[in-house]
Amino acid sequence: MESYILISAFFIIALVYSSVGFGGGSSYLALLAQPFFLLLPETIKPVGLLCNIVVVTGGTIIFYRKGELIWKEIWPFLMVSVPAAFVGGYWRLKESAFFILLGVTLVVASVFLWIKPQAIVSKELSLVVKSGLGGAIGLLSGLVSIGGGIFLAPILHFLKWSTPKRISALASAFILVNSISGLVGYFSAGGRAVDWRFALPLLVAVFAGGQIGSRLGSQVFNALYIRRITAVVILIAAVNILKDHL
């Protein structure tokens, strides 16, 4: 029964998140980290990253084909985030520290999700700001096994960096490369092999949900309502995690 609940939930999460350019890593982790599932970080981390990769790969390809991904715009965000995500994935946190950091991260993520995106006024950011943002979010991404787009996108909306579509495209690519880098870091540090009997059904579910969601996009879903409903759900999950580990 627990497996069916997880598979159904992962499908819905992937469908909803991919429709607004995210991978869903924060919600996968929020769900897997609930105390009643009794899962260890060694199980949670690679599954969350693999699900991210499966979901955002399709979205990234779609954004690229539509011309929304422009290399000269995105490389400054990636050049520091990729090695930082590797370091974060390589860094082995104690179990209690991992769950506390994850809980705090999810609380912050819920706040970022609730904030309404600013009006479009494309502003150029310096190389230092872009690489600094990418590096800081990349490190956090590796540590708690999320892609980081859930932080990067709201910050760029707040800074009025570009159009919503360009920001979603960058977030998608950012999540993809950081998830891969964090996963490589995790295994380089001797991380436990993936339990494919547990992971494969979840990966199939998020693949199906991600393909549907990335094609539907905002044509069907109201992005702001999705973000705010998700923010409430993540906040409740975060409080439950922190309550059990503080």
The per-residue DSSP string of 153-219 comes to HHHHHHTT-S-HHHHHHHHHHHHHHHHHHHHHHHHHTTPPPP-HHHHHHHHHHHHHHHHHHHHHGGG
pLDDT of residue 185: 96
Structural contact between residues 16 and 226, judged by C-beta atoms closer than 8 angstroms: yes
- At residue 186, the pLDDT reads 95
Q: Which tokens sit at 236?
A: 């409740």
**What is the model's pLDDT at position 175?**
93
Q: What letter represents residue 234's amino acid?
A: I
Cα-trace Rg, the chain:
16
> Which residue in 186, 161, 21, 187 sits closest to 77, CA to CA?
161
Q: What is the DSSP letter of 148?
A: S
User: What pLDDT is attached to residue 122?
Assistant: 67
Low-confidence ranges of the chain (pLDDT < 50): none
| Position 40, amino acid | L
In the block, tokens 């819905």 appear at 12
pLDDT of residue 91: 93
Written as one letter, the residue type at 117 is: P
CA distance 138 to 149: 9
Q: What is the pLDDT of residues 86-144, one digit of tens each?
A: 999 999 899 999 999 999 999 998 898 887 766 566 678 899 999 999 999 999 999 99
